[in-house]
């Protein structure tokens, strides 16, 4: 037994902590920028509503039903449905995806930690775009520094996961999430007052479709999975610690809405700041947060303070997500009966740490692609996980719950014996989300590789 969240709210905060991360604050703004803004945001929102949230309910449902790690939860649920244990492949793929994600996630979180200090030291005051690009490029060349922050971040992650569900994951979420919301609100106020709010707003919500391609749609779909921590078992593992009472549907919808609000607020804070500085491009790519934003902060009153604050916020958000990337594997190792939580966590953190080292040392960051910060290993890990493995995992979860779990079980887990929305949800999970995922996966991959 791994423990139970102390209340329904702890689950909400922990799941939101997992969902809200680099995906919302770093990735969402830059992929939106790269894909032309408004139309991409609209597709992303549709994916959240029609695919993400319904599948999230399915994933949490399996976890809460079985009360085990995703690998064993899938075995349990397969037994209940008289299906082969091969369904546990969903859990296995998830553990692998988690390790692949954390490999680059922790490195980027390390960038954010460094930038707390760089921003606080006043380096960015009055800086030009070119020099900010130089600062970032130099930083990416100092592998030792990258390694140091990546290692520190992994130790922070290990510490929380090793402390367990109640004293670690739950306690941290209850403290960090409110802090994060307050900081984000402050930043939004700052952007509204000091930034070019109307330009930022228009960029996010002007739904023009001419720039949208199938591979852009696949990115939006993949991001919906990534940002909700879906399709790899993180949210299933958290569901396993959910108290039995309390509405699963409402809880999950709350998490989905909070995550979406944070992404939109992050966009509404970041783009007005970027547009306020002359010559900055919203389409700057992964460097958006590390080049454009510092320039913008550097030209604004109290920029040193708010710049540093911003990177503290990013670090916190990344931290509460990273813990959920290894929890599925840790829970499984503990269940095998051979490992204590501390040993299990150390083992997987070690693997994740090596993954990060591979990311750091295999990359000639800026040489591979002029202006880019991703090179092959980094980009492949990101692409394979968010645009292939997570949608695939989500698809299988939807099919499993929609078609194979006994209807009575699903209904009782959802407390929905009589609920009129139940049939709609079931239709979505059986037909709509799987079809959307299949179409977008195929069309997106074909377009990308042709
Ligand atoms: N949802 C996290 C984010 O947006 C990333 C994540 C993905 C965490 C998958 C756990 C599982 O940053």
pLDDT band at 368 (very low <50, low <70, confident <90, very high): very low
429 lies in some domain: no
Residue 373 pLDDT more than 70?
A: no
Instruction: State whether the beta carbon of 320 lies less than 6 angstroms from ligand 1.
Output: no
Asked whether residue 413 is domain-assigned, the answer is no
- CATH number of the domain that 320 lies in? 1.20.1740.10
pLDDT given for residue 375 in this prediction: 64
Please indicate, yes or no, if residue 407 is contained in any of the structural domains: no
pLDDT at 245: 83
Q: Name the nearest CA neighbour of 73 among 184, 82, 85.
A: 85
Q: Give pLDDT, residue 1.
A: 61
Residue to mutate, 53, 324, 326, ligand 1, most ligand atoms under 8 Å from C-beta: 324
Output the pTM of the full model: 0.96
Distance CA 119, CA 136 (A): 12
Q: Which residues contact 304 (CB under 8 A, 6 or more apart)?
A: 119, 120, 122, 124, 125, 297
Domain with 143, as residue range(s), is 8-381
Mean pLDDT of 224-247: 95
Residue 432 belongs to some domain of the structure:
no
Confidence grade of residue 335 (pLDDT, cut at 50, 70, 90): very high
User: Cα(253) to centroid of ligand 1, in Å?
Assistant: 17
Please choose, from the candidates 380, 42, 60, the residue with its C-alpha nearest in 3D space to the C-alpha of residue 221: 42
Which pLDDT belongs to residue 207?
Answer: 87
Calpha distance 394→187 (Å, rounded): 33
Please give the average per-residue pLDDT across 21-37, as a whole number.
93
Asked if the structure places residue 415 within a domain, the reply is no
Per-residue model confidence (pLDDT) at position 28: 96
Residue nearest to atom 6 of ligand 1 (CA): 229
What is the distance in A from the centroid of ligand 1 to the CA of 221?
Answer: 14
Atom of ligand 1 nearest to the CA of 259: 4
CB burial string 175-185: b at 16+ within 10 A, e below: ebbeebbebbe
Per-residue pLDDT at 276:
84
Q: Which residue has the higher pLDDT, 243 or 99?
A: 99
**pLDDT band (50, 70, 90) for residue 409:** very high
On whether residue 394 sits in a domain, the answer given is no
Arithmetic mean of pLDDT, 382-404: 97
Would you say residue 268 lies in a domain?
yes
Report the residue count for the chain. Answer: 450
> What does the radius of gyration of the chain's CA atoms come to, in whole angstroms?
21
pLDDT at residue 370, as a whole number: 46
- Residue 287 alpha carbon to ligand 1 centre in Å: 19
157 lines ligand 1 (CB under 6 A): no
Helices (H) and strands (E) in the chain, counts: 23, 0
CA of 301 to the centre of ligand 1 (A): 33
Counting ligand 1 atoms within 8 A of each CB, the residue from 14, 16, 17, 18 with the most, and so the one to mutate, is 18
pLDDT of 187: 87
Dist. CA 21 → ligand 1 center (Å): 6
- Encode pLDDT of 127-149 as tens digits: 988 888 889 989 988 999 999 99
Assigned domain for 387 exists = no
Least confident piece of the model among 10-24, 107-121, 178-192, 324-338: 178-192
- Report the 10 Å Cβ neighbour count for 302: 11
Question: What confidence tens digit (pLDDT) does each residue in 288-303 have?
Answer: 899 888 988 898 888 9
Task: Tell me the HSE value of 210 on the side-chain side, using a 13 A CA sphere.
Answer: 1
* Cβ of 227 less than 6 Å from ligand 1: yes
Nearest to 229 by CA among 42, 98, 111, 137: 98
Between 33-42, 263-272, 334-343, 366-375, the lowest mean confidence (pLDDT) is in 366-375
pLDDT, greater one: 211 or 202: 202
Closest residue by Cα to residue 332 from 320, 345, 322, 323:
345
234 CB within 6 A, ligand 1: yes
325 touches ligand 1 (CB under 6 Å)? yes
What is the CA(232)–ligand 1 centre distance, in A?
A: 10
Count of domains forming the chain: 1
For ligand 1, whether the C-beta of 28 sits within 6 Å is: no
């Amino acid at each position: 037994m791994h423990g139970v969240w102390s209340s329904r709210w702890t689950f909400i905060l922990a799941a939101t902590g997992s969902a809200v991360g680099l995906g919302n604050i770093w990735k969402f703004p830059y992929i939106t920028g790269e894909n032309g803004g408004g139309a991409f945001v609209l597709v992303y929102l549709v994916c959240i509503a029609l695919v993400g949230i319904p599948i999230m309910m399915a994933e949490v449902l399996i976890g809460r039903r079985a009360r085990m790690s995703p690998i064993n939860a899938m075995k349990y649920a397969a037994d209940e449905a008289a299906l082969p244990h091969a369904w546990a492949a969903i859990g296995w793929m998830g553990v692998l995806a988690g390790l692949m994600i954390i490999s680059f996630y922790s490195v980027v979180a390390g960038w954010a930690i460094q930038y707390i200090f760089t921003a606080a030291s006043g380096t960015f005051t009055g800086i030009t775009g070119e020099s900010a690009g130089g600062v970032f490029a130099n930083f990416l060349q100092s592998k030792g520094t990258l390694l140091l922050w990546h290692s520190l971040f992994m130790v922070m992650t290990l510490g929380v996961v090793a402390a367990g569900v109640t004293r670690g994951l739950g306690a941290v979420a209850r403290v960090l999430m409110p802090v994060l919301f307050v900081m984000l609100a402050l930043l939004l106020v700052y952007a509204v007052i000091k930034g070019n709010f109307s330009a930022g707003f228009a960029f996010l919500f002007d739904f023009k479709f001419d720039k949208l391609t199938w591979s852009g749609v696949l990115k939006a779909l993949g991001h919906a999975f990534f940002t909700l921590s879906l399709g790899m078992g993180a949210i299933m593992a958290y569901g396993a610690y959910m108290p039995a009472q309390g509405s699963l549907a409402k809880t999950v919808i709350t998490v989905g809405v909070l995550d979406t609000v944070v992404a939109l607020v992050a966009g509404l804070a970041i783009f007005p700041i970027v547009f306020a500085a002359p010559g900055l491009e919203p389409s700057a790519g992964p460097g958006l947060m590390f080049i454009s934003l510092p320039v913008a902060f550097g030209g604004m009153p109290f920029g040193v303070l708010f710049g540093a604050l911003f990177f503290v916020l990013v670090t916190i958000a990344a931290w509460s997500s990273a813990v959920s990337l290894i929890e599925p594997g840790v829970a499984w190792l503990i269940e095998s009966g051979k490992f204590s939580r501390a040993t299990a966590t150390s083992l997987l953190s070690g693997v994740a740490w090596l993954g990060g080292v591979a990311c750091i040392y295999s990359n000639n960051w800026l040489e591979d692609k002029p202006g880019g910060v991703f090179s092959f290993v980094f980009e492949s890990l990101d692409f394979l996980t968010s645009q292939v493995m997570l949608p695939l995992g989500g698809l299988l979860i939807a099919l499993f719950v929609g078609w194979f779990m006994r209807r009575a079980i699903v209904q009782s887990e959802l407390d929905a014996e009589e609920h009129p929305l139940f049939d709609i949800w079931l239709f979505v999970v059986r037909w709509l989300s799987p079809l959307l995922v299949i179409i977008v996966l195929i069309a997106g991959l074909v377009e990308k590789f042709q």
